[in-house]
Each structure stands twice: as C-alpha cells, then as structure tokens.
Structure 1
Amino acid sequence: MMQPTQMVSKPPSYYIRRRLGQNKPAMFGLFIIVVSGIIALLGYLILPDATTNANNSIVQLQKQPPGFSVMVLKLPLGEKKKSPNILEKMLFGKEQDFTEIPIQKYTISGDYIIITPFEQSNAFPVGAQNLSLKKLSAKASREQRVKQFLDNLVYHKTYWLGTDNAGRDVLSRLLLGTRISLGIGLVAVLISVLLGITVGAIAGFFGGWLDKLMMFLMTVVWSVPGIMLVIAISLALNSKGIWVSFVAVGLTMWVDVARVVRGQFLSLKEKTYIEAAMVLGLPQYRIIVKHILPNMVGPLIVIATANFASAILMEAGLSFLGLGVQPPAPSWGMMVNEGFQLIGARASLFLVILPSGCISLLVLSFNLLGNGLRDAYDPKILLTGTGS
C-alpha cells in the first residue's frame, strides 16, 4: 500500500529567494551592484592611474579622445618614496616618485638621448630634451644604459576612455567614482534607516502626543527641499567635504523610512501576539526589538534599496552644483559638470555621456533590484507559495 505523500513546509525565505532568482531584471540589477561593489572595494589596485584621487594630471594631454595612446618619458623626482602595503594602496592610492612627460619620439645619438616633446610647451622640464646616458648608471656599458632607458624610463600609455580637461585618465576617475557613489549611498541608507526606525517606532508604538510630535517633525522635514537642507547642514558644519556630503544626504532621507515604520507599527501592535506580550508584562523595548522589528525586514529592505538609488542621484546633483564632493575627488556628478563646461568642444560629448551613463546604470540597477524585492516580499504571493 502506497504511503501518502507528505507535504514539506518551507520557510517564507525560501520563496523570497526563489522568486527573486526568477526575476531576470532584478538579477541583472544585482549583478551590476555586485560588480560595482567589487570595483569600489579594490579601488586603486585596479586603476590605471593609482595616484590619490586618480589625480595624475598631464597638461599636454588635455581633452584627448577615447583610445588615445602616447609615448611617455618618466623623470625621477629624487629620493624614491616608500611603497605602501597592499591595504594602504587599495584605500589611499600611491604617490608617484616620478614625473610623466609625453613625447613624440626619441633618438639615441652617442651618449645622449634627443627627445622631441609631444607639443612645444613651457611645462616641459628644462634640460629634459637632451638626456645623458652617463647619468643613468656610471659603471654600466653604453648598451646596458640604453636598455635601462628603454625598459624603465620610456613606455607607451593608452587612455582607453580619453582624458578630461586637466589631462587626467577618465577611466580611472570613473572607476574610483564608483566608490564615492556607493559609499554615499551606503552611509545615507544607514543614517536614514537608523533615524527613521527610531522616530517611526516611537511614533507608532507609543502614539498620543509623541505620535503627534513626531508627525509634526516629519512634516516639517518633508516640506524642506533636499538641496536646501543639505546647504543648511553644510553651513551649520562650516564644511563641504566628502563626509559632510555623506551625512547631509542621509539626514534628508529618513522621513520615508519613518513613515513606513510608523505605519507598520500601528498595524503590528494590534496583533494578538503583541497584545499577549503586553499582558505578560514584557518590557516595551523587548516587544519592539524582538517581536515587531523582525516582521518589518521586508519593507525596510525594499525602501532601503530605493533610498540607495535616490542617494546616488542626490549626490550626483549636489556635486554637479558644486555643493557635494569637492575637487580633486572624482565624483560622477562633478565629472558631468566638467564636461558640461566644455560644451562645444570635441571632447565634451564623451566627458558628459560617460559619467552620466554610469549614474543611470547604477540607479537603474538599484531600482530593478528594489522592484524585484518588492515582488518577492509580497505577502499574497508568499501565502499562495507561487513559484515553488
């Protein structure tokens, strides 16, 4: 006699992961976000220009198109600087102990190297156009000196995405800008979630005059434009540095979280298990932390994802206006502004399109992931077990 098939119940998280994995747009967004996160973490280790803020400027190479390649001469600056360890380089970059000079060609004549600069410019160091091989190594033969020059002092450099109006590598600054955008988004979301949960929980759980006070506070903050609030915070802190941008953006986004948390608390505190916990005399903080907040993980994840995209857009807008990240830090919004200032020049098109495309792609990825999470956490779908 055949035994009846037993139904194995599965936790809601199983259906959430399954539905999210079947959502191709959401998975595409997650892929872009993960790749961006890896780029942000590796930082200077993967940049063609590993100097601090990718700020190695070669004035002779301003506004060059993508794919531009040039021969470069390296001139030592003097005493060689100590090389940073891998963690220091990943976080802060490395200072160069040499100067890069673009050249058209070089000719070796006797014991001298005759150099033709990329363009006649006062920026070319005096005496660099006629280098002596004897200065490279006093004891080496002429052939060894020539080999040392070819191996260590001259090489071809390619700018895959061209250079900006200061002669800096656009690819390096775009990649490093990922760290700033994701960093501001992360800090802004953490601040908004922590502050929003605190205010929303107090308003929704206790009610009464505290609810009215918190709602008044949320209404006041909601009515102030985000840019005006950031300007006020910058003036109050008397700074426009990168950390001020992090905090200012976060303090403008907590109202959305607080409103959602308040609504969830008003609904959940009427549930039977919450009333039972109150009757048993459990401390209020334990009821909030142990019994209510865990049931709000889904909505909080969805709104945090949406706030991540909003924070990236706000940071880009503030940097474009000169109110966010300050030079020479490579912010995508500031790069768009630099390209906008060159409207009419040949290089302006890619200087605007490249950072704008990065902003759009990253914001789109967070929105796609947020939509996928919203569908995956839909309680109606979870109750029916669709997708199993």
Structure 2
Amino acid sequence: MSNKNKSLSSLALQKFKKNFWGVFSLGIIICIGLISIFAYVFAPDGSKNANQMHLSIHSKWPGFEVQMLTIPSQIETKQSFFSKLFFGKENTDTEIPIQSYEVKNDVLHYVEYASDGLEGLEKQIELSRFPNSNYQEFIENRSFLFGTDKYGRDYLSRVLIGSRISFFIGFVAVFISLIVGLFMGSLAGYYGGKVDAFIMWIINITWSIPTLLLVIAITLALGKGFWQVFIAVGLTMWVEVARVVRGQIISAKEMQYVTAARALGFNDYRIITKHILPNIFGPLIVISAANFAAAILIESGLSFLGIGAQPPMASWGAMIKDHYNYIILGKPYLALIPGFCIMLLVMAFMLVGNALRDALDVKT
C-alpha cells in the first residue's frame, strides 16, 4: 500500500489545481508581477519613468511610426547596471521626431515632424556632434504599439511601468494590514473582556469612516508621495483582518489543543503564534487576496484624484485621470487601456481568492 500525503495543505493544493479560473488567474498575477519587476527590460522607452516627451507626436493612434533623431548629450552619466534594470536609464540625449533629412557639406539638415499635413521646421546640426560623424546610428524608425499619450510619451512603456505601483501596493498594504490586524485581533479574541471591548470600539470607529475618506486624510497627513500612499492604504485595511482573526481565535481558544498547551505551561504568546494562528491561516489567505484587489482599486482612485503617485511617475489611475476626457474626443483607448489593466489585475486577485476559499473549505 502506497503512502500518500493526505495533509490538509496537500488536499487544498489539489483542489486549487482543479480550479481552472483560479490557476489561470494565478498565472496572470505571476506574469504581471514579473512585468512590474522587470518593467524597464520590456518597455520600449527605457528612460526613467518612461518620461521622454515628444509634443509633436502627442495622442497618436496605436501602431504609429515615425523617424526619430537622437542628438547625443555632452553630459556623462554614471549609472550602475542594476540601477538601469530596476529604475530606468537617466537619458540626457535629445530625441526629435523628423519627417526627412539629408546631409550637405558635413551638416545634417532635417525637417521636424508636424501632424495634420503641416510642414515642419527645417533645422540643421553639425555632423561633429555625433561620435565619429556617424549620424546614421542615431536615426531610427520607431513604432509606438499603444500609441502616444497627450505628452507624446510611449504609452506602452507607461502602462508597463505603471503596473509597478498597482501591483506592489497590494503587497505593501496587505503586509501592513496583516501586522496590525493580527496584533489587534489576537489581543481582542484571546483575552476578551475589557481588552476586547476597547479594541472593538477602535475597530467600529475605524469601520464607520468611509475608506476613501480615511485614506485621503492619512495621505494628506503623511504628505503626497509613493510610500505615503502605500502606508495610508495599509492602515485602512487592517480592520477587516482584525475582525476575522478575532472571530477565529474566539472559536479556536476553546479547542482541546489550546487547553493542552495551557496545561503544559506555555505562555500566551507561544499559544497564539505557534498553536492558534497556524490553524486559522486559511481565512487569512482568502481575506488577503480580497485586500489585494481592494488596495489596487483604492490606489487607482487616489491617483485619479491627484493625491496618489505624483508625476512623472507612471500609475494606471493617474493615466486614466490624464486621458478620461479623450473618451469623447475620439481616442478612448488612452483611458480604456489602463482601465482594462486595472480590471484584469483586480479580477485575477478576486478569482484567486474565490479559488482559495473553495480549496480551503473543509466541508467541500
């Protein structure tokens, strides 16, 4: 007779693998996670925050192509490989979209790009500005797969780099909410009495304040910025974790294994951390998945209101804010693309949460 692992974790994993949408959504989350980490590897515009502006080619349709002249800068920048990989290249070169060019007497004459059938300005530059006078290496045909935004920046690069904030705010917010929620919920559920009444009073007050209003208040108190938003979102989501932990501990502390641990003389800290919390980990996983999705939506709302990630940092919510009026101007894709990305990521986390709930349900 073969020995098969019948532990609850292995059974839950087998049930999760049978859920097609759960596995598919987990694959989407992993792909978006890898893209967000290595965004500058995949982004066509590898400059910091993909912030290369070309106002002459603003709001162009997906698939737009143009000749791009790059004029080398005389400023030398020293940047490590890992800095370029994770934070983008500090690009000091000048990029100019052009319609045509020709060389006369060691001088490069070019016509700047102009839309709507207009003729651009004709300018010139000495070939000595290019290394070894080899200007051809600095003129290329550049295509914009998602088009350009209202500042002429590559929209695909902005979308890829913007995934970082939406993705990582879930981890940071859930981590903060778990720390605070586990601590408060454990105290309330295990000790009960006045401790429980006081913590539940705090939870109910926090719960009664609208989430977005509370996040705005915390953000204004901490200041606008990248990490301030992460902390603010995390500090508003702990109440859900605390309520779940409190209810689970109230049920678990009457179990026989907790009574046995007390009889053996274990202290309260060990009983809570080593015996109770590992047995209520299932509901925490489910609520954490739901909090991931909620954190992404809250951050997008804050960025849309202008108090989230600040320009020039790319954020899906800020991209919708910058281009929502283009929906009625004939270019709705500028707002729909980041909106679809938010919807896809939130839906993936919700489906994973539903799959985990079904897998961890011992009754099914």
Tell me the TM-score normalized by structure 1.
0.89
Alignment map for 1:1-388 (pairs within 5 Å):
5=1, 8=4, 10-82=6-78, 84-119=79-114, 129-133=123-127, 136=130, 145=133, 148-151=134-137, 153-237=138-222, 239-347=223-331, 349-381=332-364
Displacement of 1:345 in angstroms is: 2.1
Structure 1 contact 45–89 (Cα < 8 Å) conserved: no
Displacement of 1:207 in angstroms is: 0.2
Aligned mates of 2:123, 2:60 — CA distance in 1: 23
Tell me the number of residue pairs that the alignment of Structure 1 and Structure 2 aligns.
360
1:152-201 CA-partner distances (Å, limit 9, x unpaired): x2111111001111111110111111111111111000011111100100
1:386 maps to what in 2? none
Structure 1 contact 74–101 (Cα < 8 Å) conserved: yes
Cα 1:270–1:166, aligned 2, differ >3 Å: closer, same or farther?
same
- Equivalent residue of 1:318, what SS? helix
Match of 2:355, as an amino acid? G
Tell me the TM-score normalized by structure 2.
0.95
Structure 1 contact 245–324 (Cα < 8 Å) conserved: yes
Displacement of 1:85 in angstroms is: 2.5
Cα 1:71–1:275, aligned 2, differ >3 Å: closer, same or farther?
same
Aligned mates of 2:199, 2:130 — CA distance in 1: 72
Displacement of 1:136 in angstroms is: 4.2
Structure 1 contact 332–356 (Cα < 8 Å) conserved: yes
Match of 1:106, as an amino acid? Y
Structure 2 contact 71–129 (Cα < 8 Å) conserved: no
Aligned mates of 1:220, 1:214 — CA distance in 2: 10
Match of 1:332, as an amino acid? W
Structure 1 contact 230–252 (Cα < 8 Å) conserved: yes
Match of 2:329, as an amino acid? A
Match of 2:302, as an amino acid? L
Structure 2 contact 327–335 (Cα < 8 Å) conserved: no
- Equivalent residue of 1:175, what SS? helix
Runs of 4+ in 1 over 6 A off after TM superposition: none
Aligned mates of 2:322, 2:75 — CA distance in 1: 35
Cα 1:280–1:323, aligned 2, differ >3 Å: closer, same or farther?
same
RMSD: 1.8
Aligned mates of 1:8, 1:162 — CA distance in 2: 55
Aligned mates of 1:118, 1:206 — CA distance in 2: 72
Displacement of 1:134 in angstroms is: 5.1
